[in-house]
Amino acid sequence: MTTDPSRTALADGIAPPDHAKQFAPDLAPDTVLWSELFPGGGHWSYRLKRGTTLRFIDREGGANVSILLYRADERLERLNVPDTLKGQHTAHLAHGNILVSDMGNVMASIAADTVGWHDALCGVSDADSLRARYGEKRYQEHRNAMHRNGKDSLLIEIGKWGLGLRDLVPNVNLFSKVAVDGDGRFVFVGGNSKQNDFVELRFEMDVLIAVSTAPHPLDPSPVYAPKKVGVVAWRSGTAGPDDACRISCPENRRAFYNTELIYR
């Protein structure tokens, strides 16, 4: 993982760079918690409190952000992609959708979105698929220019929190679009996300999030060139009574009710 100095104060007193001014100038400065610029192929994890929003910004166009979610204080509860899709009668995610746990609780809601389609079907790339497509570039020879895949990146991050291979559940791929052709095959749709498109995840419970910016497993690009992603965390509060994510369907209303019982 590459850590940006904006996450920590510098010992010599020099002010760290504030990416939020570039990524999210519309946010009130006193609500911003931190901001980062992730390199393509990077990985990261963090514990986030209920009422925090993460804005992910595609800095170059064509980014992919694979995410996993776990309940912060009880990590046996985690993102359930099949229930997320089934309960909302959809095969992809966008503004107004929620990410549901295997206990029927709302882990996060998509509070804003300029993209309109985020893949929840295709999982992550692994070492074999990257090697077959791009050849092998190991850390031993190439250091930070090595090829990183989504599976190993997420395993590294959840391993920092005491989780392992058995905890690697199906994930969501922000910014990526995969459609189904007439023969029932997945087809990667290029150009789905443009430069500076963004999506906001508002966390409705205390959550551990793991992130990888490795390429999507179906990305047909012949060159390994994962894109940079900006991230801003800010205090947003949780979904209000008339929030689009809450009222979009009866299943979402019940999920919010179940979640709010935890925090009463």
Compute φ and ψ for 252, nearest 5 degrees: -70, -40
Q: Residue ranges of the domains in the chain?
A: 31-262
What is the model's pLDDT at position 232?
96
Residues 6+ apart with CB under 8 A from 213: 38, 39, 40, 41, 42, 43, 63, 64, 65, 66, 226, 227, 228, 229
Residues 6+ apart with CB under 8 A from 104: 83, 254, 255, 258
What is the model's pLDDT at position 129?
95
Predicted confidence (pLDDT) per residue in 209-259, tens digit? 999 999 999 999 999 999 999 999 999 999 999 999 999 999 999 999 999
What is the model's pLDDT at position 204?
98
Predicted confidence (pLDDT) per residue in 103-122, tens digit? 999 999 999 999 999 999 99
pLDDT-derived band at 9, boundaries 50, 70, 90: very low
What is the model's pLDDT at position 110?
98
- What is the percent of the chain with per-residue pLDDT over 70, rounded to a whole number? 94
Quickly list DSSP for 181-219.
Answer: -TTS-EEEETT-S-TT-EEEEEESS-EEEEEE-SPPTT-
Residues 6+ apart with CB under 8 A from 205: 50, 71, 72, 105, 106, 107, 259, 262, 263
Q: What mean pLDDT is reported for the chain?
A: 93
Q: Mean pLDDT, to the nearest integer, of 38-43?
A: 95
